Structures are given as C-alpha cells and as structure tokens.
Structure 1
Amino acid sequence: MSNAATIEKYEHIISKLIRQMKTLKPAFQENVAIGIVSMDNWEWPQGVGLFALYSYYKETGNLAIRDELIQWFDKRIAEGLPDKNVNTMCPMLTLSYLAEETGNPTYVALCKEWVTYVMEDMPRTDEGGLQHCVTRNLNEGQLWDDTLYMTVLFVARMGVLLQDDAYFQESIRQFLVHLKYLSDVKTGLFFHGWTFLGHHHYAQALWARGNSWYTAGLVDYLDIAPLPAGVSQFLISSLERQVRTLAALQHENGLWHTLLDQPDSYLETSASSAFAYGILKAVRKGFIDERYRAVGLKALEGVMSKIDEEGIVHGVSYGTGLKDNLDYYRKIKQCPMPYGQSMALMLMVEACK
C-alpha cells in the first residue's frame, strides 16, 4: 500500500473514532460520582478526549472540531462545573489552549482560578506531591501516576499562558517527586501508586494505563514546558528505560497486558495506544533510539485490530482505582471509553506523520 493510501486509510479510521467518541454511552450502571463514559460529563476521561480532539484540530486545521470544543465547554460551564480535584482538572488543559486562541475572558478566568487552586489549595503529600484527590475521595497521602497527565500538564500549560516560571517549576517538582516514589528501579516501569501513610506501593501493580500516562504525557509535556536540559535529559532517560522494558514485555500481537508483567491479565487497548503514541512521537522527535519505532508500529497494528468497522475501540479497561490486590486489576470490566477512542485517535494522527 502506498504512503498516500495508508494515510487515507488512517484518516478514514480517525473520522470514525471521533464520531463514536462523541456518542458513547455506558454499557452498564456506573458506580462513580461523575459518569466517565459519556462525553456529556466533566471528568478525566472526557478531559483526555478533549485534548485528543484539540490536538487533531491543530494538526488538521479543521475548524469544525474547534467549534465543537467551544460548544462543549460553553455548555458545561453553563451547567456548572464540578468540584476541583486531580481528575476534574483534566479538561482544563484543553480549555487553556482555547483560552489562548480565542481570548475568551471566561475561559481565561476559569483557567486562572483552577490553576490557583492547584498551586495554593490542592492537598499535598510529603515532599509537596499533589495528593491524588478525586471526587468524594481524598486519598490521603497518596501519589498516583495518573496525576501527571490529569493535572500537571495543565499546570505547565498555564506557565505558557501566564508567562510565569513558577508554574513550570511546580510541574518539574511534580514529575520528579512522582518518579522518585513510583519508579520500579528493577524494571524502569512505574507502580500505580504510593502512600506516605504506610510507605508502600499497595499491590505493587505495574499497571499498563498508569504507565502509559507517563509515556504519552511526557512527549507532550516536553512540547509544552521549556525545561532545563538536565531535567529533560532525566525525564527522557526515564522514558527510554521504560520503553526498553515495554519492548521486552510486548505481546506478539503488539499489545500489552493490563498488568504489564502478568501474562495472565488481559491485553488492554487504551494503554497500548498511549504507549504506541508516546513511543512513535519520542522516536520522531529524537528523544529515544530509532530501533523503538518497530515497537510502536507493531503496537499500532495491534490497536487497529481492536477498532471495529464502526470505529469503536474494544478491549479498553474501565476506570481503575489504586488497590492492594492484583486480582482487582485483572477483573476490571472492559468497555468502550472516551480515552480508548482518544488515545487511538492520538496514535493514528501520529502514525500519519
């Protein structure tokens, strides 16, 4: 297949991914404070989806996508926003870009209000880490790898929007504190969480999607934040060590298990999409060795095999908390989710490059 034909094929898949993401509905009764399937809600899965859509708009110049994002935010703002926490912070990343692009004073004011909460009022762990507070659960003393993607990228973006180095420095601190306590020095992978109250990693779960928030998030963080060379070199070396282990653990079909080192756990598509996106972008940007391109492309094929004719991404695990039992991770339900659609979208756009 020619390059032009391949890109046309990918763009056809992209259009279906976007269409399905907009109309997802829960396949079962959700037992969460704020629904995390439908794009009509304001939570972290929607935030991941919004950022993917904005990234696609910036890549293609498709103004219809931008206008739909503006409509989404205007409707949610009119309805009233939820309480501030690590997860509800996620949509603010996209809003910060729209605030800069449109100059809408409401958007700007909200971005300032929410980032001020992070800087001044969000609960902290020891060493100033952002405690992984979520709706109805403070998770006292806990660091989760999810936090870097859900909140810290937004903090860095506000450094750009406000031209204030304090936000960049805070984002650096959060990356370093999280890597200090979540890194598995044996493998270069990341544990799902750490508690300062009990000083342990719970089940020591090397959970795929949590790891993928670093892989996918770091390559975008490096685009956002002007980092000192020593910091960026440290973060990239951590990425390459992670990718080296991911390459060894990749299933023959290109995907990864939801517990990366547990072959009896199911293969999970959203993490595999995020890994492939981060790996391919890191290779393209020259962050990691060219030999890892093959790992990303193998994962791309695996992810594409999980996208049905209608554009729905299958094999995606539902929202996953931090637990002290590996069986909990093995038993998480699988169903179409906004982040499954959006990480596949990010991957397909990167593949077109």
Structure 2
Amino acid sequence: MSDTRSNDAIDERIGRVLQGMKSLKPAFKENVKDSIVSMDVWDWSQGVGLFAIYLFYKETGKRELLDELTAWFDRHLAQGLPGKNVNTVCPLLTMSFLYEELCREDFLEICKEWAAYVYAEMPRTPEGGISHLTVTSENEGQLWDDTLYMTVLFLGRMGVLLDQQQYVQESIHQFLVHLKYLTDVHTGLFYHGWTFLENHHFGGARWGRGNAWYTAGLIDYLDMVPVPEGVRKFLLTSLRRQTEALLPLQTEEGMWRTLLDDPDAYVESSATAGFAYGILKAVRKGYLPETFRESGQKALEAVSSRIDSAGFVHEVSYGTCVGDTWQYYRDIPRCPMPYGQAMALLMLVEGRKHL
C-alpha cells in the first residue's frame, strides 16, 4: 500500500492527480452526446472537478490554478452554454466563487439567471423535490442522491451570496425531502433513487457514490450555508448514522464497493475517496467523533494506491443512472473520470491536515 504519511508524499500525489485530470480521455466509446470523461465539456462530471480545483486553490493560493479555472469558464462562455438541467448546474458552484475572486459581473449575471431557474422553473416532484432532469431524460417524479451535490449546493450558495433567503430555505427543503425518501431506515444508508410515479426505490440499490455525494457534499454545504440548529442537527445525525453503517462494510484494505452491501460488487474509488474526504473533514470539524478518523485514513491509503504514475485514479465507475437491478451497477465500466480525480484531490488535501 502506498505511504501518504508525510506532506511531501501527499503533495507529490496531489500534483499527479491534477495533471491526470487535465489529461483525461475516454477509454471506450461513450453513449452520450458529449463526453463526461474529458474536462473540455460543461457537465456535472467536470463541475465536480472544477470545485475540487477551486478548493485546492483556496488552500494553497496558487494563482495558476485560479487562472486555469478562469480560462475554462471563458472558453465555454465563448462557445455558448448548454441547456439548463440538474447536471449542467454543477459547474456554476465554482463560477459563483470565481465571481467573488475576480469581481466578474458577467459570471454573477449567469449565476443569478441559473439560480432563478433552479428556484422557480426546474421541474419538481410531489412535495417539491427537484426532479433529476438531465440532458437525456426528464426523470419525472424522480429524486436522486446526485441532485444534492449537482444543484442544491449551488442554490444554497447563491442564497448566501445574493442574500436571498428563499434560496437558502429551498436548499434546506431539498436536503430534507431527499433524505425523507432516500434514507433506508433499516441501515441508515441512502438509496440511489425514488420514484413518486410508482412509489419505489427502483432496484433498491444502496449505491456507493450516491452515498458519498451526501458524505462529502454535506460537510461543504455546512461550510457555505448557515442553517437553523435543528436542521443542522438533523443533517449531522443522518451523517453519523450513515457513517456508522459504512464502517462494517469497508473492506480490509480500506475500500467501499459500488453497491455498499453487495459482496459481489467491485470496489470503487470515487465513492471511497468521497467517504474518506467527508469522514476526515467531519472528524476535524467535530461533526463525527475521533474514533472515525482511522476509517477515513484507511480509505485514503487505499485510494492513493490506485493513483498511477501519470496521476490517473483507477477503479472509478463511469456515469451511473438509477438502475432497476443490482446487476446494472455491477456492470458499469470503470475508467479514470473527472469526479474520481476530484474526490481524490479533496481527500488528499484534507489528509494533509491529519498528519
């Protein structure tokens, strides 16, 4: 297993992961209009990567990172932005922070337009949840774990940035309605999706990366958005119960599987890195007790061993829709992906604080 017990070792890996993110190319023919592997596309996969780079910039103050992010957005503004949906909202979280860094009014105007769309026009399920609208499907009446990270973080962030309390309150509502319908009350883990049209959890998958969107996303959400103490307690007790359920499912090496409680499912790096980041940061901030640190550190070491000499993070599952069977998740191919690089980057940066 790779050794990440020194700043130099972690910094070397961080540099490789960043380089690998820039060099990502599809490993097979993708069945999508635009690649979700290459960082040259505006979509959710790239949006997760952009946010990780921004947080690393804030940690280090390296101006070249800020310049690279700005150039990425300027290229896409020149090309024209894609249609609005849950996934294409994701890059705007980083854009909202770049507005503050650069005083770019054009960035702010775009963020305001898209936030107003999310709040007032994005399709809703019964009880007002955001339907997981994508470029390929309306997914009418469907709640997915992914929506919290891809859209709700941005909405809450814009509520704070614009001092629009209705946006903040709507982001809180989205967390609560998603937890209401996606929590498996028997385990404390989260199902991947729920349909109001048929009232079921599809294949009943407790999907690894979907759970990690909560573990990693909640901690950053609480950094960005002040929430009432009662809501904060509810969100954090959900995190505590989820993490308690995760620990016995962690492999001896330190990984988690793409289906968390399925011994036939493969181990998966983006979920494991997201859990490592969320758990370690939650311990540092006092949201989880010290006893959880060992699990996070073990996961960090396991993912680090899957970073190759070119900086690519391996054993990352490709983009995953809600599946009707567990076999669907077992069959998702694996290849380096922007969100795998991003979660590994966040994990490593957080890991430096725990040496």
The alignment's TM-score, normalised by the length of structure 1, stands at 0.98
1:5 and 1:343 map into 2 onto residues whose CA distance is 19
Native 8 Å contact 1:318 1:332 kept in 2 = yes
Which residue is equivalent to 1:232? 232
Matched, 1:25 2:14: no
Which residue is equivalent to 2:11? 11
Which residue is equivalent to 1:116? 116
- Unpaired segments ≥5 residues, structure 1: none
Matching of residues 154-169 of structure 1 within 5 Å? 154-169=154-169
1:4: Cα distance to partner? Answer: 11
Q: Deviations over 1:110-150 (max 9, x none)?
A: 00000011011100000000000000210010000000000
Which residue is equivalent to 1:142? 142
1:156: Cα distance to partner? Answer: 0.8
Native 8 Å contact 2:4 2:10 kept in 1 = no
SS in 2 for 1:267: coil
Q: Which has the higher contact order (CA 8 A, sep 6+)?
A: 2
Native 8 Å contact 1:33 1:136 kept in 2 = no
Which 10-residue stretch deviates more, 184-193 or 30-39?
A: 30-39
SS in 1 for 2:6: helix
Which residue is equivalent to 1:273? 273
Which residue is equivalent to 1:348? 348
Which residue is equivalent to 1:218? 218
1:32 and 1:178 map into 2 onto residues whose CA distance is 27
SS in 1 for 2:174: helix
1:167 and 1:123 map into 2 onto residues whose CA distance is 16
Which residue is equivalent to 1:106? 106
* Amino acid of the structure 2 residue aligned with 1:279: I
Which residue is equivalent to 1:293? 293
SS in 2 for 1:143: strand
Which residue is equivalent to 2:262? 262
* Amino acid of the structure 2 residue aligned with 1:267: V
SS in 2 for 1:194: strand
Classify 1:5/1:133 alpha carbon distance in 2 versus 1 (closer, same or farther; 3 Å).
closer
Which residue is equivalent to 1:206? 206
SS in 2 for 1:36: coil
1:72 and 1:312 map into 2 onto residues whose CA distance is 20
1:323: Cα distance to partner? Answer: 1.5
Native 8 Å contact 1:256 1:271 kept in 2 = yes
SS in 2 for 1:309: coil
* Amino acid of the structure 2 residue aligned with 1:35: S
Which residue is equivalent to 1:61? 61
SS in 2 for 1:291: helix
Q: Deviations over 1:170-190 (max 9, x none)?
A: 100000000000000011000
SS in 2 for 1:256: coil
The alignment's TM-score, normalised by the length of structure 2, stands at 0.98
Runs of 4+ with >4 A deviation = none
Native 8 Å contact 1:33 1:135 kept in 2 = no
